[in-house]
């Protein structure tokens, strides 16, 4: 049975795109940055510098010999103060390079545009750039662009859905750097031999749709596809289906459906790197939420603390009760304002008491709303029950491994059940069960 037998569901969420028309502001270089050696999905990097070393912007400071990883470069010039242990907001411990900046932003002598004339050169350049999926997933781009079946991949899907409330960083990329986005798309298509590209943009961003369309030269195999403004249009499998009609089946990767998906800011960065050779050292993010005095889109050096970014946005107008890295649907609550901005961090949202209340859970009333909201037609209430019964067979049948933790089910649940947590626990339970077997 097809995963998408019925139309994809999802939920309507308030857009709250308050910063949509706020042009990106460059934040001054902070006094100190902290660069964790894990800013991506996969293996952490090992620091290549030590306390006392002088570093420059774009200098390689962390690397790994593992396949799934991404290089880390200094975002500032200055002196390494220490290498310390850091526990990220998901609880993973990693090393972190702390650099006291000298404010000069001296570029590293290593910086030069890469020489690219083949697929291999291009993939090597993407790897050297340290790029990871900038939309939130943090998957190393050089790995994503090099699937095991390159000859069967013919399509690039560019994700500009930006369906999470509040976040407008990708919208700003579209409005401020559309020609860079298109050049990035053309480079990816040229070197990976792709026939066509689709740019998916939600229809609550009509200016972005119109502007992007106006820059596409007639005859170019690039199309803008307006998508219904609904969450989670930007989820990988969802946007592939909505733009191309192709289905990524359970256990498959997008490349198995002949597609590569890139976030719009990632594709724009590819163009920038090919032109300048400056690796990924800064990030545009949206700063918003009821506790923030001056919501903004801001470009900051990687490793800048949340506190410095929030102070740059005027500080708090109300005491924050919850601060999120990312959007309100899939973002992660941070435990400290010293948390540094990392590569896949596209928003800092700070909410005051009234918007941060955790609702009390009541008993499931078996209304079925969670299943109707799920884009993959999973049955979260049954998953929750089967998890309680530790029934691995039932959980497998319920296909909990398809769950992408989008939160639509919990969002619509009248009993306020914490279904995302139970789905995640069920996946963990199945992994442990499989390991035992
Ligand atoms: S939406 Fe909530 S109350 Fe309704 S069936 Fe699902 S878990 Fe139960
Ligand atoms: S969190 Fe999982 S089960 Fe819930 S709606 Fe999203 S994909 Fe479906």
Instruction: Please give the average pLDDT of every successive group of 10 residues along the chain, which has 437 residues.
Output: 57 94 97 97 97 98 97 98 94 96 96 97 98 91 96 97 96 97 98 98 96 94 96 94 93 95 97 98 97 98 98 96 95 95 96 88 96 94 97 96 94 96 96 89
Give me ligand 1 centre to Cα 42, in Å: 34
pLDDT at residue 249 in the model: 86
pLDDT value for 2: 47
Q: Does an H or E element contain 394, and which?
A: helix 392-397
- Reading the block at residue 53, the tokens are 């070393």
* Domains present along the chain, CATH in parentheses: 25-111+279-355 (3.10.20.600), 119-276 (3.40.50.11540), 369-436 (no CATH)
Question: Which residue CA neighbors atom 6 of ligand 1 most closely?
Answer: 370
In this structure, the residue with its CA closest to atom 4 of ligand 1 is: 367
| Residue of 370, 412, 423 to mutate, ligand 1, most atoms within 8 A of C-beta | 370
Eight-class DSSP state of 28: P
CA of 411 to the centre of ligand 1 (A): 10
Pocket test of ligand 1: the residue of 11, 367, 377, 385 to mutate, having most ligand atoms within 8 Å of its CB, is 367
Query: What's the farthest any 2 CA atoms get from each other in the chain?
Result: 64
DSSP per residue, 255-291 = GGGTEEEEEHHHHHHHHHHHHH---S-EEEEEEESTT
Q: What would the two tokens of residue 102 be? A: 């000298």
| pLDDT of 8 | 66
Cα 297 to Cα 82: distance, rounded to the nearest angstrom? 30
Per-residue model confidence (pLDDT) at position 7: 54
DSSP annotation of 191 reads H
Of 14, 85, 19, 97, the residue nearest 281 (C-alpha) = 97
Place of tokens 């490349």: 255
Whether ligand 1 lies within 6 angstroms of the CB of 418 is answered as no
pLDDT at 5: 46
Residue nearest to atom 6 of ligand 2 (CA): 406
**Radius of gyration of the chain measured on its C-alpha atoms:** 21
> Per this entry, what is the length of the chain?
437
Ramachandran sector of residue 193 (left: φ over 0; alpha: ψ -120 to 50; beta: rest): left
Six token digits for residue 277: 């050779």
């Amino acid at each position: 049975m097809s995963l998408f037998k019925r139309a994809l569901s999802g939920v309507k969420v308030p857009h709250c795109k308050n910063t949509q028309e706020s042009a990106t502001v460059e934040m001054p270089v902070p006094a100190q940055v902290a660069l964790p050696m894990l800013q991506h999905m996969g293996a952490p990097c090992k620091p290549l510098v030590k306390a006392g070393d002088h570093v420059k912007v774009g200098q390689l400071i962390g690397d790994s010999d593992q396949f799934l990883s991404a290089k880390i470069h200094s975002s500032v010039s200055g002196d390494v103060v220490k290498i310390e242990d850091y526990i990220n907001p998901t609880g993973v411990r990693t090393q972190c390079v702390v650099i006291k900046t000298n404010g000069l932003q001296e570029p590293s002598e290593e910086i030069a545009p890469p020489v690219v004339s083949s697929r291999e050169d291009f993939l090597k350049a993407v790897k050297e750039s340290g790029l990871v999926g900038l939309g939130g997933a943090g998957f190393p781009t050089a790995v994503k662009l090099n699937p095991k079946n390159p000859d069967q991949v013919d399509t690039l899907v560019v994700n500009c859905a930006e369906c999470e409330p509040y976040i407008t960083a990708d919208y700003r990329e579209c409005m401020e750097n559309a020609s860079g986005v298109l050049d990035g798309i053309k480079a990816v298509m040229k070197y990976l031999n792709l026939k066509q590209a689709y740019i998916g943009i939600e229809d609550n961003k009509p200016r972005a749709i119109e502007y992007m369309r106006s820059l596409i030269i007639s005859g170019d195999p690039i199309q803008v596809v307006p998508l219904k403004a609904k969450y989670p249009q930007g989820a990988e499998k969802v946007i592939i289906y909505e733009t191309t009609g192709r289905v990524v089946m359970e256990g498959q990767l997008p490349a198995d459906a002949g597609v590569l998906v890139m976030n719009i800011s990632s594709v724009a960065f590819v163009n920038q790197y090919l032109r300048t050779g400056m690796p990924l050292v800064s990030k545009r993010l949206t700063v918003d939420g009821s506790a923030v005095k001056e919501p903004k889109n801001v470009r900051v050096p990687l490793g800048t603390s949340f506190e410095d970014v929030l102070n740059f946005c005027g500080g708090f107008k109300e005491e924050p009760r919850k601060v999120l890295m990312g959007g309100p649907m899939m973002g992660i609550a941070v435990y400290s304002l010293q948390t540094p901005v990392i590569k896949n961090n596209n928003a800092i949202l700070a909410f005051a008491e009234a918007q941060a209340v955790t609702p009390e859970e009541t008993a499931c009333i078996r209304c079925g709303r969670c299943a109707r909201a799920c884009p993959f037609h999973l049955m979260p209430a049954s998953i929750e029950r089967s998890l309680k019964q530790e029934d691995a067979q039932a959980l497998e049948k319920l296909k909990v491994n398809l769950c992408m933790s989008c939160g639509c089910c919990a969002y619509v649940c009248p009993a306020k059940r914490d279904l995302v947590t139970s789905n995640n626990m069920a996946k963990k339970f199945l992994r442990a069960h499989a390991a035992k077997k």
